[in-house]
Structure 1
Amino acid sequence: MRKMLAVIALLTMAQAAPDPHRPTPTYDVVAPALPGRLDDAVLIVSKTNAWRHLEHIPHSNAVLARIADDLGQASYVTENAAVFNDEQLRHFSVVVLNSTSGDFMTPDQRAALAAFVARGGGVVALHAAGDGSHADSWYTGTIIGAPYAGHPGGADQFQSARIIIDQPDHPVMAGVTLPWSPVDEWYAYTASPAASGMVVLARIDEATYRPAAGREMGSHPVIWTNPATKGRVLYSALGHLPDAYDDPNYQRILTNAIAWAGRHPSPGAE
C-alpha cells in the first residue's frame, strides 16, 4: 500500500512539475543595476512571458554579445524588462529582443521602448519576438507589422528552405553568400508585412519546403524592416535552433542588423 501511495505521489508531482517552456508570466518592477561606462551599447533582452525557447536563448545571447564586442560596442544581457525605462535606455543605441515572448512589458516599460524608438533608437527583434503571443498594438504594429499564423509541426517542424534576398543592396544583406538553405522552424503570417508598409529584405522559397496546410503565403517574408519609424527597426523570423546562430550567413545578418540599427558601419559592407 505504501509503495502504491509513493508511486501516486511521484506521478502527481511529475504532472504538477512546471514546464520550463511555459514559464509563469511575471512583470519586472525593479530595474537592474547597469555596469558602469555603458554608452552607445547593445541591450540584449530575452524575457519570456509565453513560450520560452530555452534551447537557443543561452547560446544566442552569448553569440549576440560577442557580435556586439566584435563591433566595438559594449553589451548588457538581461531578462529583466524593467530595464525599459527612459534613464537606462539612454545608455543603449540598439535593443535586441531575443525571442522575447508574451506581453513581457508593463505599460510604462512599453512606453519607454516606444520613446526610445521615437528618438532614434534601433530595435532588432528575433524569432519568437514576432510570434502570436504578443497582443499589444504598438508592439505588433511597430516592431512586427504582420499577424502571426503558425509554423509546420511534427516531423515538418524543422526543414531546410531556400532563402531569397529581395534587397541585396540593403546593408543588412551585405556579405550573405547564396545559395543558402538553412534548417529552421518557418513562421508564417496571415498577411505579408509589406501590406502594412514594411520593407521585405528576404523571403523563403515555399517550393523548397512543406508549409503547414493553409499557411502558404506565396511570397513568404522572413526578414523585414519598418521604414516608418525614426529608429531603425528590423525583424527576423529565423533562429529557433541553437545551430542557427553558428551559421556564418546568419551571424553576418545579425552583425549587419545590429550595426545598421545602431547607425554604425557594417563589416559586411567592406
Structure 2
Amino acid sequence: MKKVLKIALWTFLSLVVLLVGAMSLFVYKVKYGFPVSYETEIPTIDFPKDKPAILVFSKTTGFRHGASIDASKVVLEALAKKNNWFLYQTEEGGVFNPEQLSKFSTVIFNNSTGEVINDEQKKALEQFVENGGGLLGIHGAGDNSHHWDWYVKNLLGAEFSHHPLNPQFQEASITLDTPVDSLLAKSLPNQWQHTDEWYVFFDNPRKKGFNILFSIDGDKIKPSGNMPLLASDKDFGMGKDHPVAWSKSVGKGKTFYTSIGHSEVAWKNQNFVQLIENAILWTQH
C-alpha cells in the first residue's frame, strides 16, 4: 500500500512540475517570443505608380493571434480595393529596408508579436516614420514582447502589463474621446459595443501626450490577470479612463495603435473595420 501511495505521489509531483514548466514556457513565449532568424533578403515588389502602398506585416515569434490575422487579410484586401490602395502582405522582414519602405505610405503591424525584425530593420522603420510615413499597430502589436524602446515611446506610449483572464473576453462600451483629427472619427458613432480581450497597460498613454480616440470604462470590466505561481501581481486595471485607440505625430510621420482585435470577431464589427480604414487614410494625409 505504501508503495502504491509513493508511486501516486511521485506521479502527481511529476505532473505538477510538467504543468508549471509548460505554463512557464508559455509565459516566456508571450513575453519574449522564441528566437528566430531574421529575414534579410530583399523581396521583389512591383509598386504601382498610381496607388498608395500599404505594408501589412503579420509575422509572430510570440503568441500568434491566428484567427484574427487570417480574418484581417480578407478585410484589408477589400479596403484596398475600395480605396485604390496597393496592399503588400508579408511575414518576411526583408522588406524593412530604406529603399522599399520609402515607397509605402503606411506600415501595419498586424498582431505582430515578439522580436520580428533586426536592429538595422528597426532603424529603417524608425526613419521611415520620422520622415513622414505612417505606422499602425493592432492588438498584439502592443504587448510587451517587442523590447524596442522607440516603438514603445512612439507607438504605444505605455508598457503592456496583462489582459483579463476571468473572464478573458468581456463586452464593453467603446466611447469616442475628443478626436485630434476628424478623419479618425469619420463615420463612427460616439459609442459602440464590442467584446474583446482588453489589454491593461502600466501607464495611460494620455499622460505621455498621445491623442486618445476611443476608450472604455475600466471600472466596468474585471481586469485581473493573475496566474497562480507565475503572475500573482496582476490584479489591477487602468481605472475608469482606459484608452483602447490612440494616435501621435512623430517627426513628420504619424502613429496609431488600437488594443482592439484579438480575434476574428473584431473584423466582423463594421465600426472596428471603419476605425482601421480611417487610421490608414489618416496616415496618408
Q: Do they superpose with TM above 0.5?
A: yes
Q: Which residue of 1 aligns with 2:41?
A: 30
Partner of 1:218: 240
Q: Does 2:268 match 1:257?
A: no
- Which is worse superposed, 254-263 or 224-233? 224-233
Which residue of structure 1 aligns with residue 257 of structure 2?
A: 235
Matches within 5 A, 1:37-48: 37=48, 40-48=52-60
Unaligned segments of structure 1, at least 5 residues: 1-15, 264-270
Are the equivalent residues in 1 in contact too, given 2:176–2:189 (CA < 8 A)?
A: no
Find the aligned partners of 1:110 and 1:191 in 2 and give their Cα distance: 24
Is 1:173 matched up with 2:195?
no
Read off the aligned partner of 2:64 and give its amino acid letter: R
* CA drift at 1:23: 6.1
Deviations 1:79-124 (A, max 9, x none): 0111110111122101111011112111110111011111100111
- 1:192 is aligned with what amino acid? N
Tell me how far 1:31 sits from its aligned partner: 2.0
Please state how far the C-alpha of 1:227 moved relative to its aligned partner. 2.6
The Cα of 1:40 is off from its aligned counterpart by 2.5
Change in CA separation of 1:134 and 1:46 when aligned onto 2, cut-off 3 Å = same
Contact 2:217-2:239 within 8 A present in 1 as well: no
Which shifted more, 203-212 or 43-52? 203-212
Q: What amino acid does structure 1 have at the position aligned with 2:172?
A: A
Superposed CA offset, 1:51-93 (max 9, x none): 1111211111221222122111111000011111011112210
In the aligned structure 1, how far is the partner of 2:241 from the partner of 2:190?
Answer: 19
Tell me, yes or no, if structure 1 residue 195 matches structure 2 residue 207.
yes
Larger mean CA deviation between 63-72 and 140-149 belongs to 63-72
Counterpart Cα distance in 1 of 2:36 and 2:241: 35
Q: TM-score normalized by structure 1?
A: 0.85
* Paired amino acid for 1:166: D
Q: What is the total number of aligned residue pairs between the two structures?
A: 247
Determine the structure 2 residue equivalent to 1:148: 160
> Post-superposition shift, 1:25?
2.9
Structure 2 Cα separation of the partners of residues 122 and 203 of structure 1:
22
Q: Are the aligned partners of 2:214 and 2:244 in contact in 1 as well (CA < 8 Å)?
A: yes
For the pair shown, the structure with the greater C-alpha radius of gyration is 2
CA drift at 1:179 = 3.5
Mapping 1:45-64, distance limit 5 Å: 45-64=57-76
